[in-house]
Amino acid sequence: MTSGDVERLLIQFQDEEGEVLGSPFDVPLDITPDKLQLVCNALLQKEEPVPLAFFVRGEAEVVSSLGLCVTALGVETEQVLPVVYQPQAVFRVRAVARCTSSLQGHTEAVISTAFSPTGKYLASGSGDTTVRFWDLTTETPHHTARGHTHWVLTIAWSPDGKKLASGCKNSQVCFICTHKHVTIICLLRWVTVLMLNPECRYLVSSSKDCTIRIWDTVLGRSEKILTGHTQSVTCVKWGGDGLLYTSSQDRTVKVWRAKDGVQCRTLQGHAHWVNTLALSTDYILRTGAFEPATATVNAQDVTGSLEELKEKALQRYNKVRGTAPERLVSGSDDFTLFLWNPAEDKKPLARMTGHSALVNEVLFSPDTRLLASASFDKSIKIWDGRTGKYLMSLRGHVAAVYQVAWSADSRLLVSGSSDSTLKVWDIKTGKLNMDLPGHADEVYAVDWSPDGQRVASGGKDKCLRIWRR
Amino acid sequence: MPQNEHIELHRKRHGYRLDHHEKKRKKESREAHERSHKARKMIGLKAKLYHKQRHAEKIQMKKTIKMHEQRKTKQKNDDKTPEGAVPAYLLDREGQSRAKVLSNMIKQKRKEKAGKWEVPLPKVRAQGETEVLKVIKTGKRQKKAWKRMVTKVCFVGDGFTRKPPKYERFIRPMGLRFKKAHVTHPELKATFCLPILGVKKNPSSPLYTTLGVITKGTVIEVNVSELGLVTQGGKVIWGKYAQVTNNPENDGCINAVLLV
């Protein structure tokens, strides 16, 4: 076979849901992803070319040339080959490399950090019972909110970035609106997780006393109490469809209807405490109307009336969710994860095994394609977000990995661990991108700002560190 | 101060004065004023002594009053929040047993520079040559006595090869060669079986250090990569010193204490 006579192949572009795009194309075997991208963009007829990733038959990614992929898979060249295209994020987040500041101020370990949905503000809760707000442009303390009487275990921003809710070990929930705070008491035991509903009015809190409470933040009182779990509720998530998902130490995950507080379903299957939950639409619900692609160097507040913001948020939500219902992943002490379709079905979609110690946190990537699970066995595993198939393992930490955070373009992952380092991983290659030492003791909380510029990490050494490029 | 009971006798016989109780009451109530007048007007050594005594009295009074007050009201002792804040996901779990190693790299480096070592066993019995080395007689008439055999436990490295038997002066028998030691972390009180990297110093003699003889009090270097310790710079620690605490030739194993 002469060099000019390259084999050709018929391929058919498909999107992730299986819908075909155009008719089968005849392409030479040595075509590269760039050329495929040009062709596909032309077919999609968009104004701006979107970066795309191509997967042969949905499995193997086309990295250098189609030919290599085909030979690796051993596919017949006679038939039409389906090639799935996936739009990647247009913007690219750069890896953080240096610690720009170490913010002192807390007098006890920092246990939770959260960026506001636009990335303009940073709040951190700590064992010294205060919640501190930090100004990110000057990297100095902005405001200290006192009012709790015990360790502040969890903080949650509302999706419009205007309010913050924090829960403490003495079962108090505090709601901070700009600079004034209202304390709403009270549960019987400590508050584990808080989350504000996408419309920013209701707040749901889960607690060790086995109940979940829905609070009305405008009226300042408890609306509903959902009981049903027999042991401490470890995690609660507010879904976009008006459903509430809760996980508990009694090994079950329960699905509730938020409007009337009725329990819809109980998802069973785990063999030990269910530690953590993750929804595929988590990131969208968290950032609301803010679009990471429009982020600028100076983070701005989202402007617009409540109606406009709601519209924008709804659009973004529908785009990411697509036609499939929301997916839920639960990670547990029995070393496995389950992938559920909670709105439809009681049976899990997939059971993901492989960890050799308990799973502490699971997180969907912002584009919902990938899933990362951090575990006490010092590794992070990446799974496919749709099917639950195992993709790769990220090893490098020498002690338990506590928390992970995705960058807004889903290409990078930062993980904080009990060995006092943070590591930035490149998902495409599966390798360590950057090692971030500097903390003097365990790193308890990690967060990547939605505009992709900064990573904040807080730990047992009482200081909060901000990392930038 | 009456010296006898004539006042009581008179009171029994004739009763009190009519205004006695009134006078007594008023005198007692004037006592505070009189005492304060005295305290103000007294001078000199007398005053000093009086004031000292009065101060001690007042302290006692205040203490008793406070004690009485405390008994009346019960207070919940909740002013100070306990230490050791942990995030929510660690609350129901016991703390991980892990060595706290963070300033130790610096401390070790400084100690090494100074050449000073703070060891758990500072003084050990020095072992003489006759104890550690046994004379082996060689030759046709068994008269040549230049070979020695080590009678204590020793460590030889991985790539150790004997010298040609005709020329080797020190024999280290294979039965007494050990590769692993049971190392105890002094703070965690946990013991690990770790491979030995080398013998750093034998207190009895530098000759034993070069031979690799391990006796009680020897400082050895062990491989701690199992423990997962990290320096502040983010590097993984893989070697640490430990001091031997038993007589390995009697026990058949090497027990050591990690030097943190």
How wide is the angle at C-alpha A400 spanned by C-alphas B226 and A465, nearest 5°?
A: 115
- The distance of A262 to chain B (nearest Cα, Å) reads 27
Which of B78, B228, B233 comes nearest A437 by C-beta?
B233
Share of chain B above pLDDT 90, in %: 58
How many Å lie between the alpha carbon of A437 and the closest alpha carbon of chain B? 5
Tokens of B194: 């770790």
Chain B residues inside the 8 Å CB shell of A399: 96, 98, 228, 230
Query: For residue A138, what pLDDT is reported?
Result: 83
All CATH 2.130.10.10 domain ranges in chain A, comma separated: 98-468
Mutation choice for B interface testing from A99, A108, A151 by most B CBs within 10 A: A151
* Token pair for A193: 């997780």
Only one residue has tokens 């031997």, namely B244
Provide the shortest C-alpha distance from residue B87 to chain A (in Å).
5
Chain centroid, CA B191 distance in Å: 19
Residue A176 sits at the chain B interface (C-beta within 8 Å): no
d(CA A110, CA A122): 13
To the nearest whole angstrom, how far is the Cα of A419 from the nearest Cα of chain B? Answer: 6
CATH class of A98-468: mainly beta
Residue A37: strand, helix, or coil: helix
d(CA B199, CA B256): 12
Q: Measure A380 CA to nearest chain B CA, in Å.
A: 17
Q: Which class for B69: exposed (0-12), middle (13-18), buried (19 or more C-beta within 10 A)?
A: exposed
Q: What is the predicted pLDDT for the residue at B221?
A: 95
Identify the top-confidence range among A212-226, A420-434, B18-32, B187-201. B18-32
Lowest mean pLDDT among A68-77, A136-145, B1-10, B186-195: A68-77
Nearest CB among A154, A402, A437 relative to B232 is that of A437
- The answer to whether residues B173 and B148 touch, using CB atoms and an 8 Å cutoff, is no
Query: Which residue out of A247, A420, A465 would a mutagenesis test of the B interface target, given it has the greatest number of B Cβ atoms within 10 Å?
Result: A420
C-alpha count within 13 angstroms, C-beta hemisphere, residue B133: 18
3-class secondary-structure state, position A186: coil
pLDDT attached to residue B206: 92
Q: Which of residues 360-419 of A touch B (CB under 8 A)?
A: 360-361, 378, 398-400, 402, 418-419
Cα(A79)–Cα(B108) distance, integer angstroms: 68
**Cβ(B119)–Cβ(B243) under 8 Å?**
yes
The single-letter DSSP state of residue B96 is: P
pLDDT category of residue B155 using cuts at 50, 70 and 90: very high
Cα A156 to Cα A14: distance, rounded to the nearest angstrom: 39
Is the ipTM of this structure higher than 0.90? no
Please compute the mean of the pLDDT values over residues B58-86 and round it to a whole number: 77
Mutate to test the interface with B, among A106, A129, A421 (most CBs of B within 10 A): A421
Whether residues B228 and A420 touch (CB distance < 8 A) is answered with: no
Which stretches within chain B are classed as H helix?
6-14, 20-41, 44-72, 104-114, 129-132, 206-211, 248-251
Name residue B126's beta-bridge partners: none
CB contact under 8 A, B81 and A149: yes
Judging contacts by C-beta atoms under 8 Å, the chain B residues touching residue A249 are 92
pLDDT number for residue B97: 42
pLDDT, mean of residues B156-168: 89
Tell which of B81, B93, B97, B232 to mutate to test the A interface (max A CBs under 10 Å). B81
Q: If you measure CA to CA, which chain B residue comes closest to A194?
A: B88
pLDDT attached to residue B138: 92
Task: State how far the Cα of A379 lies from the Cα of A392, in Å rounded to an integer.
Answer: 10
Residue B135 has pLDDT above 50, yes or no: yes
pLDDT at B53 over 90: yes
- In DSSP terms, B240 is beta-bridged to B222
* Confidence (pLDDT) at B98: 43
Residues sharing a CB contact under 8 Å with residue A275, sequence separation 6 or more, in sequence order: A234, A235, A247, A331, A332, A333, A358, A359, A360, A361, B89
Cα distance between the two ends of chain B: 75
Contact B230 A420 (CB under 8 A): yes
Residue A169's Cβ-side half-sphere holds a number of Cα atoms within 13 Å equal to 25
CA distance B43 to chain A (A): 53
Among B87, B92, B233, the residue with its CB nearest the CB of A111 is: B87
Torsion A318-A320-A324-A329 (CA) sign:
negative
Strands B180-185 and B190-201: antiparallel
Q: Which tokens go with A70?
A: 């085909």
Please state, in angstroms and rounded to a whole number, the distance separating the CA atoms of residues A444 and A420: 9
Question: How confident is residue B199, by pLDDT bands cut at 50, 70 and 90?
Answer: very high
**Residue B100 in this model has a pLDDT that exceeds 50:** no
For B203-215, what is the mean pLDDT? 93
Q: Which of A410, A426, A423, A431 has the alpha carbon at shortest distance from A457?
A: A423
Domain A8-87 has CATH 3.10.20.90: yes
Give the rounded distance of the alpha carbon of B46 from its chain centre: 51
Interacting residues of B220 by C-beta distance below 8 A, sequence separation 6+: B155, B181, B196, B197, B198, B199, B200, B214, B241, B242, B243, B244, B254, B256
Type of residue at B75: Q
Which among A112, A129, A249 is the nearest to B87, CB-wise? A112
H or E element in which residue A67 lies: helix A66-73
B88, B102, B229: residue with CB nearest A153: B88
Lowest mean pLDDT among A252-261, B4-13, B76-85, B139-148: B76-85
Higher per-residue pLDDT: A244 or B94: A244
**Burial of A136 (C-beta count, 10 Å sphere; 0-12/13-18/19+):** buried
Give the chain B residue whose CA is nearest to the CA of A190.
B88
Where in chain A is CATH 3.10.20.90? 8-87
Of A108, A190, A360, the CB nearest to B89: A360
Indicate the pairing of strand A8-14 with strand A81-87: parallel
Tell if the CB–CB gap between B85 and A441 is shorter than 8 Å. no
Using a CB-CB cut-off of 8 Å, the residues of chain B touching A169 are 91
End-to-end Cα distance, chain A: 50
Strand bridging mode A422-426 / A412-417: antiparallel
Domains annotated on chain B, with CATH: 129-258 (2.40.10.310)
| Residue of B76, B77, B86 to mutate, interface with A, max A Cβ within 10 Å | B86
What pLDDT score does B42 carry? 94
Report the candidate in A441, A399, A422 with the shortest Cα–Cα distance to residue A106. Answer: A441
pLDDT per residue rounded down to tens, chain A (469 residues): 444 566 777 777 777 767 777 777 787 777 777 777 777 777 777 666 677 777 776 566 777 777 777 777 776 667 777 777 777 776 777 777 788 888 888 888 898 898 888 778 888 988 888 888 888 888 888 888 887 888 888 888 877 777 788 887 776 666 666 555 555 555 545 555 566 656 667 778 888 888 888 887 777 778 888 888 888 888 888 887 778 888 988 888 999 888 888 888 899 888 888 888 998 888 877 777 676 666 666 655 656 666 777 777 777 777 777 667 788 999 988 888 999 888 788 888 888 888 888 899 999 988 888 999 999 988 999 998 888 889 899 998 988 899 999 988 888 999 999 888 999 999 888 889 888 888 888 899 999 888 888 899 998 888 899 988 8
* Nearest Cα residue in chain A from B102: A440
Phi-psi region of A18 (alpha: psi -120 to 50; beta: other; left: phi over 0): left
Q: Do A440 and B228 touch (CB under 8 A)?
A: no
Pick the closest to residue A450 from A404, A408, A415, A411 (CA basis): A408
